[in-house]
Amino acid sequence: MSKKIAVIVGSIRKNSYSLQLAQNLIGLLPEGYQAEFVQIDQLPLYNQDYDSAGSPDQYTAFRDQIRSADAVLFVTPEHNRSFPAALKNALDIGSRPYGQSVWNGKPALVVSQSPGNLSGALASNHLRQVLSFLNMPLVGQPEAYIAGFNKLLGEDGKITNQDTLQFLQSVINTFVQLIQRYS
Ligand SMILES: Cc1cc2nc3c(=O)[nH]c(=O)nc-3n(C[C@H](O)[C@H](O)[C@H](O)COP(=O)(O)O)c2cc1C
């Protein structure tokens, strides 16, 4: 049976490099793995009152999407030395109501990028700290931080650098092994 990978992009801007990186990454998935992008920009800010009073419809749809996935791929930029607020909001929404987290036990891969030299490494480390708490088995190695990402793209949005592609393929292969171990 095919596996479903929920893809969450930490940036909500239209021409996001993280989105382009995610699109390149899903092209490296083997046969039998289907990627589904999960939007996070429509989610109202998490408020614990919703847990008792009833959640917005967007929360329900989002939680259902994650619940139905076998694993989650996070691709994120760095905002002020952490991952973006929209992504934290999505993580909080999925983690509640208490005891009903949709993240629990789902294998995850974090890939970060930046146009600069920092490669989103600090965002990735913050994100992986939160995902560990949420009980998501993570790809530990190889760590996937991509510096100068915009310079690696061709005009069609595809990564042209063969070394980068080879590295990202090894990251995806490790993710697939992790998913198989937990399925
Ligand atoms: C609010 C904000 C904070 C940022 N902070 C960082 C940072 O801490 N480290 C970094 O490398 N880049 C930082 N950047 C630059 C981002 O890496 C850059 O905007 C990148 O293109 C964002 O990824 P995206 O194209 O997927 O939106 C920041 C950008 C914004 C808008």
Phi, psi of 82 (to 5 degrees): -145, -170
Structural contact between residues 71 and 106, judged by C-beta atoms closer than 8 angstroms: yes
Length of the chain: 183
pTM above 0.95, yes or no: yes
Q: In which band, very low, low, confident or very high, does the pLDDT at 1 lie, cut at 50, 70 and 90? A: confident
Closest to 181 in 3D by CA, of 131, 106, 82: 106
The tally of domains found in the chain comes to 1
SS3 of 110, please?
Answer: strand
Looking at residue 34, its pLDDT comes to 98
How far apart are the CA of 126 and the centre of ligand 1, in A? 15
pLDDT in tens, 106-163: 999 999 999 999 999 999 999 999 999 999 999 999 999 999 999 999 999 999 999 9
Q: Which domain holds residue 68?
A: 3-182
77 CB under 6 A from ligand 1?
yes
65 CB under 6 A from ligand 1?
no
Which residue has a Cα nearest atom 9 of ligand 1? 78
81 CB under 6 A from ligand 1?
yes
How far apart are the CA of 69 and the centre of ligand 1, in A? 28
Looking at residue 177, its pLDDT comes to 98
Q: List residues bridging with 153 in a β-sheet.
A: 159
**What does the longest C-alpha to C-alpha distance in the chain come to?**
52
Atom of ligand 1 nearest to the CA of 119: 11
CATH code of the domain covering residue 96: 3.40.50.360
Structural contact between residues 124 and 90, judged by C-beta atoms closer than 8 angstroms: no
